[in-house]
Amino acid sequence: MIQSPNGVVIPRTVTLQLDQGGFVLESGKTLPEVTVRYEMYGEINQAGDNVILLLHAFSGDAHAAGLHHDADRYPGWWDDMIGSGNAFDTDRFCVICSNVLGGCQGTTGPGSTNPQTGQPWGMTFPVITIGDMVDVQYRLLRQIGVNTLYAVAGGSMGGMQALEWAVRFPDMVQRAVVLASTARLNAQGIAFNAVGRNAIVSDPAWNGGNYYDGPHPTRGLAIARMVGHITYLSSESMRLKFGRRLQNADGAKLDLEDQFAVESYLEYQGEKFVDRFDANSYIYLTKAMDYFDLASSWGGLDAAMARTRSRFLVLSYTSDWLFPTDQSKEVVYALARAGKDVSFNEVVSPYGHDSFLLEATLQRELIRAFLSGGTV
C-alpha cells in the first residue's frame, strides 16, 4: 500500500462569484461561469499571511500532495516536497494548489459543460492565456479569504504562472520560486507543442473536438504525450535508464514491432496519460504556453520585472534542454537590472526537464532556506 506523510486529502471545488457579464478573458471573450478544483495542505494562520500557492506544470493538476483515498496508488505530484518539516512546511504554511483554467481535473475547461448549451464546450471554448489562469487563481484566493501570499512556486508552466503572478499582482506576492521555466517559450518549445496538437487533430476520433459522446482520440493523445515526454528527459537519463536494451532477452527479431525498452516505456507513458487527460485540454494548455511572453505583455522584460515587489528564487537544471539555463538567466538578469532581490542556482542533474520533480534532496534545502529568509 502506498503511504504519504500528508495522508488523505479531500479536493475542494468552488464556483467563482462573477459579475453579471461573466469572467472576461484576455481575448475579450467571456465565460459565463468558472468552477475551480483545489487542494489545501496545512492551515491558514490567524493573520492570514502564511499561504503558499503552488502552480502546477502542464500535465499536472491540483493534487500536489497526499492521497485521495487509502487505496490510492499515486500520491500528489510534489508529495516529497510538501508536509511537516519539508520544503513547503505545513507546520508553518498553508499550501494551496488549484487545477488551472482550461484543465480537465475539476476546473472549467473544454470538457466542461457550457451552461448556455448544456453540451461540452469542446473547441468552442475560448482561447486562454497564462494570465487568464492567474486571474482565476486570484479570484479563487480572494473568494476563500486569502489577501496576501507568502510565496508562489511552480516549475515549467507553473513557473510561467509564478512569474505572471509576481508581475500582475505585485502587492500580493512576497516571494516567487521559479523552477525550470522561462519568460517566453522559444521556437523549439512551440514546435514540440505543435507536433503534439497535430497528433491529436489527426486522430480520426477527434471529430473537431466533439468526441465526448463517442470514442476519444486516445491514439493521437498518446502520441502527443510520447513526444512531450521525450522533451522532459535528457540524453543522459535515457542512456542510464534504457540504453539500447532490448525487450527480448534472446536479441532482436529483425521485424517492425517495438523491440527496444525505450519504445515500450514511451508506449506505457502514452497509454497511462490518456486515462487522466483530455485531448482538447492538451490543445488549449499548449497554446497558452505558446502565447506566454512577459516582454510583449508588459512593455519589455525589464519593464515587467520592474513591476514586481517579490523576492525571487530561480532554479535551472544542467540537463534541461527544453527550458535550458540561459532562459532562466534571462529572467535573473532582468530582475537584477531592475534592482530586485533574486537568488539563482543551476542544479546539476541528469534528469532533464523533469529534474524539478525529481531532485528533491538539494531542491528541498534551497527552497527551505529561501522561504525561511536564509541564504541560498
To the nearest whole number, what is the mean pLDDT of the chain? Answer: 94
Going along the chain, which residue ranges are E strands?
12-15, 23-24, 30-31, 35-41, 51-55, 82-83, 88-89, 94-98, 113-114, 119-120, 151-155, 175-179, 311-317, 342-347
Task: Quickly tell me which residue has 516549475 as its cell.
Answer: 155
Contacts of 80 (CB under 8 A, 6+ apart): 86, 360, 364
The pLDDT value recorded for residue 252 is 61
The pLDDT value recorded for residue 41 is 98
The pLDDT value recorded for residue 250 is 63
The residues that are catalytic are 156, 320, 353
The pLDDT value recorded for residue 186 is 95
Residues of the chain with CATH 3.40.50.1820: 12-186+293-371
Residues of the chain with CATH 1.10.1740.110: 190-284
- The model's pLDDT over 215-226, given as tens digits with 9 standing for 90+, comes to 999 999 999 999
Q: Give the range among 2-16, 153-167, 190-204, 324-338 with minimum mean pLDDT.
A: 2-16
Q: What is the mean pLDDT of residues 75-99?
A: 97
For residue 375, pLDDT over 60 is answered with no
Task: Quickly tell me which residue has 537519463 as its cell.
Answer: 237
Q: Give the range among 182-186, 213-217, 369-373 with minimum mean pLDDT.
A: 369-373
What would the CATH number be for the domain defined by 190-284?
Answer: 1.10.1740.110
The pLDDT value recorded for residue 158 is 98
Superfamily of domain 12-186+293-371, CATH level 4: Alpha/Beta hydrolase fold, catalytic domain (3.40.50.1820)
